[in-house]
């Protein structure tokens, strides 16, 4: 596959660089063909049409991007393909999922039994999930989880599987692979965990890889490395790849074709260059146009609603209609209007340090320190937003946890509304945390799986 760069002007007259691809050969028969797929969830409040009659094709060695905002049906499309629906309430109500076997015949994945599907999952079709933090089993080493897949699908001996696992870790760019295979997931960074997931997905030489938002939880530097890695592996192995993403930059960078999803439907489908150069549906136009401008300082970031002139049926809409505004947007706007701006800072951080000891030897003596947060000073005023950016491991999350005293600071002061958080008792901390809250990076492991969402919200 040859890739060239094409620069076009978007709807807002800003350039978009498309890494367009030209196929070296025309695939006569698609590897995967989905026709009129429908996946519905039957709930107490009625039927939710998560996937509502979508059709698409993917050829061997081809890359398809499935793009849309959260809740549009992107991930559910992938789960439906492999019949990995998250609850018994969801089921495939109609349509075909044709998969071309290595023998040349077509299999309808929607009609296969669970035993037949297990041979295809992880073998012919592999999937990288969105959250590497929760996709790996925390009680097994990273290497043993890849070994399990090799022995299950390829029937390798234990020694063969371990040797192949080290080779796979090296192939996906994990340094010191012979050491990393013996480490547990919590000992690796987010980027390394995602590389382990890629190694596991590629272990059985799949013909198709489904990547469900593989870089969402990673910082931009690691994102680029992971995307380049997947592209290299695809080229070397001649795999088909389906990228599920909300990031138009990823679509422009790595995909050949794109399917734009909105409310469970594919509203636009075609070559990336065609879709970006001449979008037809209002939703696609909104996705492309709401990219933030780097040259202009705006009062707020543009949203899809700013450009959405019609619904999924093409009916003209009033952009000022409150039904088009997200509930969260209304709540933030209302709170901001109510928040007075007093001159005194609400939060003051003074010379904050968070050092972690490095211990070695039988007696676990301290031989050094990791300076996760080193002499940080900043202020935040009422009604203001401060952005904290940096690469993985630079100390962003540790600073947030230290401010709340989820971990005790080594030294320094944290003043909230004039009160010293570092000197508070546990009872005072509990009262203070009603006013200062944190949203953790990983929603999947932050919520108790034994509790309903409503019960989790009511508990505090």
What is the maximal distance between C-alpha atoms in the chain?
73
187: which DSSP letter? G
Mean model confidence pLDDT for the chain? 80
Instruction: Give the pLDDT band (50/70/90) at residue 447.
Output: confident
Instruction: Give the pLDDT band (50/70/90) at residue 327.
Output: very low
pLDDT of residue 17: 53
The residue-averaged pLDDT of 134-140 equals 84
Return d(Cα 151, Cα 161) in angstroms, integer. Answer: 7
The residue-averaged pLDDT of 442-456 equals 79
In the sheet that holds 32-43, the strands lie side by side as 46-58, 32-43, 90-100, 106-108
pLDDT (tens digit per residue) in 149-158: 899 888 899 9
Who wins on pLDDT, 264 or 226? 264
Is residue 340 scored above 60 in pLDDT? no
Closest CA to 233 of 254, 217, 218, 258: 254
Span of 88-97, 400-409, 446-455 with lowest mean pLDDT: 446-455
Instruction: Give the pLDDT band (50/70/90) at residue 22.
Output: very low
Instruction: Give the pLDDT band (50/70/90) at residue 320.
Output: very low
Helix (H, G, I), strand (E, B) or coil at 268: strand
Identify the burial level of 13 via C-beta atoms within 10 angstroms of its C-beta, where 0-12 means exposed, 13-18 middle and 19 or more buried: exposed
Please report the domains of the chain, with CATH numbers, ordered by start residue.
2-289 (3.40.50.300), 308-338 (no CATH), 345-458 (3.40.50.300)
Is residue 169 scored above 60 in pLDDT? yes
Entry pTM: 0.67
* Contact residues for 194 (Cβ-Cβ < 8 A; gap 6+): 128, 132, 214, 215, 218, 222, 226
């Amino acid at each position: 596959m040859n890739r060239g760069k094409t620069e076009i002007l978007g709807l807002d007259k800003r350039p978009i660089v498309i890494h367009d691809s030209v196929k070296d050969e025309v695939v006569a028969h698609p590897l995967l063909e989905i026709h009129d797929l429908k996946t519905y969830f039957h709930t107490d409040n009625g039927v939710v049409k998560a996937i509502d009659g979508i059709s698409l094709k993917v050829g061997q060695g081809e890359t398809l991007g499935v793009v849309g905002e959260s809740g549009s049906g992107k991930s559910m499309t992938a789960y439906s393909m492999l019949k990995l629906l998250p609850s018994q309430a969801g089921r495939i109500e109609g349509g075909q999922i044709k998969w071309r076997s290595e023998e040349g015949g077509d299999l309808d994945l929607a009609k296969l039994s669970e035993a037949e599907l297990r041979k295809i999952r992880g073998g012919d079709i592999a999937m990288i999930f969105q959250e590497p933090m929760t996709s790996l089993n925390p009680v097994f080493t990273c290497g043993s989880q890849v070994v399990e897949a090799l022995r299950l699908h390829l029937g390798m001996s234990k020694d063969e599987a371990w040797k192949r696992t080290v080779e796979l870790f090296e192939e996906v760019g994990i340094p010191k692979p012979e050491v990393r295979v013996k480490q547990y997931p919590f000992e690796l960074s987010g980027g390394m965990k995602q590389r382990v997931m890629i190694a596991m997905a590629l272990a059985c030489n799949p013909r198709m890889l489904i990547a469900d938002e593989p870089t969402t939880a990673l910082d931009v530097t690691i994102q680029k490395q992971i995307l380049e890695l997947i592209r290299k592996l695809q080229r070397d192995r001649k795999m088909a790849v389906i990228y599920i993403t909300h990031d138009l930059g990823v679509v422009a960078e790595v995909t050949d074709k794109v399917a734009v999803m909105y409310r469970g439907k594919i509203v636009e489908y075609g070559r990336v260059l065609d879709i970006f150069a001449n979008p037809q549906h209002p939703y696609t136009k909104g996705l492309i146009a709401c990219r933030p401008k780097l040259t202009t300082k705006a009062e707020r970031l543009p949203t899809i609603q700013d450009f959405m002139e019609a619904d999924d049926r093409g009916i003209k809409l009033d952009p000022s209609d409150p039904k088009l505004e997200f509930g969260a947007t209304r709540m933030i706007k209302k709170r901001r209007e109510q928040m007075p701006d007093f001159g005194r800072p609400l939060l003051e951080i003074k010379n904050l340090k968070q050092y972690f000891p490095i211990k070695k030897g039988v007696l676990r003596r301290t031989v050094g320190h990791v300076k996760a947060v080193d002499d940080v000073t900043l202020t935040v005023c009422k009604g203001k937003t401060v952005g904290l950016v940096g690469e993985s491991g630079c100390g962003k999350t540790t600073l947030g946890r230290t401010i709340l005293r989820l971990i005790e600071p080594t030294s320094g002061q944290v003043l909230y509304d004039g009160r010293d958080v570092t000197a508070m008792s546990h009872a005072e901390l509990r009262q203070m945390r009603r006013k200062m809250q944190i949203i953790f990076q990983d929603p999947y492991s932050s919520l108790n799986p034994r509790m309903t969402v409503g019960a989790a919200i009511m508990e505090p």
